[in-house]
Amino acid sequence: MDRNVILIPPESEAEVLQRQYAKAKRDGDITNNGVVYRWWLESASGAGFKLFRETHHTDHDLQLAEDGLRGKRDVVVLDTVVIEAAPGPAP
């Protein structure tokens, strides 16, 4: 029997982060000072958050974003990852 099979190549960590960043930005998950974040239900105690640090963000920007989330949400986990521009086409 003939079956249609789609092979999906594995994503690199950078590709996963780019996809998560794009979805969070599209969904409007952005702090008051412009830091994009992803969130998920971590436990009955609260949510987990991942702040995406872009090249123009300062340490102060990230601290304000963290303080804002902690002030409004039940934060159980909070991580920061550096997000860089997606690679352009090969020369």
Q: What is the CATH number of the domain that holds 77?
A: 3.30.70
Per the structure, the complete domain to which residue 77 belongs is given by 13-82
Q: What phi-psi label fits residue 83: left (phi over 0), alpha (psi between -120 and 50 degrees) or beta?
A: beta
Mean pLDDT of 3-31: 90
CA atoms of 78 and 51, how far apart (whole Å) = 7
pLDDT, one tens digit per residue, over 64-83 is 999 999 999 999 999 999 98
CA atoms of 49 and 1, how far apart (whole Å) = 46
CA atoms of 8 and 44, how far apart (whole Å) = 34
Residue 71 structure tokens: 């002030």
Q: Please report whether residue 3 resides in a domain.
A: no
pLDDT, one tens digit per residue, over 9-20 is 888 888 899 999
Q: Please report whether residue 29 resides in a domain.
A: yes
Q: Please report whether residue 8 resides in a domain.
A: no
Q: Please report whether residue 32 resides in a domain.
A: yes
Q: Please report whether residue 88 resides in a domain.
A: no
Q: Please report whether residue 65 resides in a domain.
A: yes
Q: What phi-psi label fits residue 28: left (phi over 0), alpha (psi between -120 and 50 degrees) or beta?
A: left
Question: Per the structure, how many domains does the chain have?
Answer: 1
Residue 77 structure tokens: 């986990």
